[in-house]
Amino acid sequence: MSDYRVDLGEISFNLRHVADLDGLAKLEEFEYVEPDVVDQVLAEAARFAEEVIAPLNRVGDTEGARRLDDGSVATPTGFREAYDAYVQAGWGALSIDPEYGGGGFPHLVGLAVEEMFTAACMSWSLCPLLTQGAINMLSAHGTEDQKARYLPPMVTGRWTGTMNLTEPQAGSDLGAVAARALPQPDGSYRLVGTKIFITYGEHDLADNIVHLVLARTPDAPPGTRGISCFLVPKYLPDEHPSSAGVRNDVRCVSIEHKLGIHASPTCVMAYGDGEGAVGFLVGEENGGMRAMFTMMNHARLSVGLEGVAIAERSYQQALAYAHERRQGRAPGAPATESSAIIDHPDVRRMLLDMRSSTSAMRGLAYRNAEAIDRAGNGSDAEQRQAAGEQAALLTPLTKAWATDMGCELVSVGLQVHGGMGFIEETGSAQHYRDARIAPIYEGTNGIQSADLVGRKLTMRDGGAVRDHLAHIEATVEALDGTGELASVGRHLEAALQATGEASEWLLAAGLAQRLAGADAYLKMLAITTGAAALTDGALAATRLGDPDAAADRAVLARFFAANRLSGVPGLLAAVTEPADDLAAATQRILA
């Protein structure tokens, strides 16, 4: 099994020439983020990922998390030591508001570091990921006392955070949540209910766990309108905010046995085995969905990044194997020698598909993070609104397309290994198993496509998506139809035209028709957007005057355009035609 090595050149290029980190650094909030400081942060993060986290990936998969007889959960060998080192280094604070002890770096930089840690060991990275989301939610919706009491230890990483949405009878239908929150005379609540699929709901990494829990108060209206959000710590803080006091009435009753991410404890949590778990309202009563979506939107981008990270890890392993493995004779090779399989055209095709697609996914995710930074810190209200719309539009694309592609690309990586890929010892099979959860996390990808056509497409009556497509049109115009990227321009223009046509058709269609074509439309928009990011990177490399880098990025852009982007116009029929057949299938074929 090959070691993971961070491609700092690729990450840094995407930060500065696909996303615009240098432009972000000109904003008042980030003016101290100097290029050399960012380079130092990235280099140290790469070292930490390679030396501290990456060795956990295999042992975590083979050992897994274990629930002990007393209800506690033990993480695999080395996990706690790595987490302690993470806390000591302050990585969790990197892109958090300095008011609460954070480093104040752009979310874009934090996302790049997150990619390294996720690629190194996805199971380990999930705990910090959810804590970051919980911090964001409390920062936006918590009371001043809640922020002062809970954020400092969470920012340091000494306390971790979770998101408790799902219940056995509810699944993704949060309107069916039945957990109860009973008001108490002191202003607190007592929570009673069961939550399932709670990532790192119990573990041995930190001193305390802060659960953010959706539940209903006694007089709450039905459906999602009656959901409130509550902060339920594992240990109730005493008069000293940074210390952990009395154990709360919340327990892990079991952990799931899963297809992958074995080291990440996925817990069934019981609230209120006794008098009820003490909780505190976050935000307004019946305003839980608005509060929780602050956390979920952060998590959706991070889950999309999981697709990028695990595809990168799988690609590196497949590439190393293709150089080492000798089999058959490639065209032009001496008759007396077997060839390294990387010399076979089909293996090169698979590897180039992995490399170019991962680059397109990374560009999309980084631009998504940049939009989030600009939405919160833009120089004026108009810029913040435009960036907010872009972030809202890109988030379902990143989450759904990058995770679907992550699964597809790790399957390609396994295929490069041939029969050895199916053998656990090579490690390729683990990537295949671990990747599969990402399209399910944080709202399945069907929910992402429904969100895209139901809410994001209709922003400003379609104005947001039209503005987005206009930016891609500017990329087409920059290609000018000539040179090494001429074929990219032709494919991008055709995809852009088809995506624009699909957008206008959906805007004029009824909701049922929009939902029927939502999955295909998300793919059209995401592939076209990823191709534009890849193309902008190739154009930037040309402007930088490095002929080798420009040639390499042109190859990636051309290959992606011919093998992925060229299929976008063919998806138009899947957007505009499926509604009647779905209804017919419900009546007959699927009866």
Cross-strand pairs, 66: 74
**What is residue 255's three-state secondary structure?**
strand
Q: For residue 265, which phi and psi values (nearest 5 degrees)? A: -70, 115
Is the pLDDT higher at 170 or at 143? 143
Give me the pLDDT at residue 172, please.
67
Which residue shows structure tokens 């998506």? Answer: 465
pLDDT above 60: residue 262: yes
Rounded distance between C-alpha atoms, residue 172 and residue 55, angstroms: 34
Give me the pLDDT at residue 243, please.
46
Active site (annotated) includes residue 51: no
Give mean pLDDT, residues 186-207.
Answer: 97
Give me the pLDDT at residue 297, please.
78
Which residue shows structure tokens 């629930």? Answer: 67
Are 355 and 553 spatial neighbours (Cβ–Cβ below 8 Å)? no
Q: Of the candidates 571, 388, 382, which has an alpha carbon nearest to the alpha carbon of residue 464?
A: 388
Kindly list the distances between the CA atom of residue 430 and the CA atoms of 57, 77, 121, 401, 542, in Å, as whole numbers in the listed order. 9, 18, 11, 21, 38
pLDDT above 90: residue 159: yes
Give Cβ neighbours of residue 132 (< 8 Å, ≥ 6 apart): 92, 96, 110, 298, 302
Give me the pLDDT at residue 532, please.
98
Give mean pLDDT, residues 447-469.
Answer: 97
Give mean pLDDT, residues 74-85.
Answer: 98
Write down the mean pLDDT value for the chain. Answer: 94
Beta strand 189-199 pairing with 266-271: antiparallel
On the CB side of 48, CA atoms within 13 Å amount to 24
Question: Is the Cα dihedral 380, 383, 386, 390 positive or negative?
Answer: negative
Give Cβ neighbours of residue 396 (< 8 Å, ≥ 6 apart): 300, 448, 449, 451, 452, 456, 522
Amino acid at 299: A
pLDDT above 90: residue 176: no
Give me the pLDDT at residue 245, please.
74
Give mean pLDDT, residues 400-421.
Answer: 98
**Domain segments of the chain as ranges:** 55-89+121-286, 444-591
Q: Of the candidates 139, 116, 117, which has an alpha carbon nearest to the alpha carbon of residue 128?
A: 117
Going by pLDDT thresholds of 50, 70 and 90, the confidence category of residue 241 is very low
Q: Please give the structure tokens belonging to residue 318.
A: 């497949």
- What b/e sequence results for 13-31 when a residue is b if at least 16 CB atoms lie within 10 Å of its CB, and e otherwise? bbbbbbbbbeebbebebbe
Give mean pLDDT, residues 199-220.
Answer: 96
Tens of pLDDT, residue by residue over 476-520, are 999 986 789 999 999 999 999 999 999 999 999 999 999 999 999
Give Cβ neighbours of residue 213 (< 8 Å, ≥ 6 apart): 164, 179, 191, 195, 229, 230, 231, 232, 271, 279
Pinpoint the alpha helices (H) of 325-444: 345-377, 381-417, 428-435
Question: Is the Cα dihedral 293, 296, 300, 301 positive or negative?
Answer: positive
Q: Which of 285, 389, 442, 501 does the annotation list as catalytic? A: 442
Rounded distance between C-alpha atoms, residue 179 and residue 175, angstroms: 11
Are 349 and 318 spatial neighbours (Cβ–Cβ below 8 Å)? no
Give me the pLDDT at residue 293, please.
80
pLDDT above 90: residue 170: no
Percentage above 90 pLDDT, the chain? 86
Give me the pLDDT at residue 2, please.
58
Please, what's the largest Cα pairwise distance for the chain?
86
Is the pLDDT higher at 56 or at 292? 56
Give Cβ neighbours of residue 265 (< 8 Å, ≥ 6 apart): 65, 67, 73, 75, 199, 200, 201, 202, 203, 252, 255
pLDDT above 80: residue 283: yes
Which residue shows structure tokens 């539940």? Answer: 215
Burial class (CB in 10 A: 0-12, 13-18, 19+), 304: buried
User: What are the DSSP calls for 505-527, one per residue?
Assistant: HHHHS-HHHHHHTHHHHHHHHHH
Beta strand 208-215 pairing with 159-164: parallel
Rounded distance between C-alpha atoms, residue 431 and residue 264, angstroms: 14
DSSP 187: S
User: Any idea which architecture 55-89+121-286 has in CATH?
Assistant: Beta Barrel (2.40)
Going by pLDDT thresholds of 50, 70 and 90, the confidence category of residue 582 is confident
Are 305 and 365 spatial neighbours (Cβ–Cβ below 8 Å)? yes
Tens of pLDDT, residue by residue over 328-378, are 999 988 888 899 999 999 999 999 999 999 999 999 999 999 999 999 998
* Distance linking the first and last C-alpha atoms of the chain: 47
Going by pLDDT thresholds of 50, 70 and 90, the confidence category of residue 538 is very high
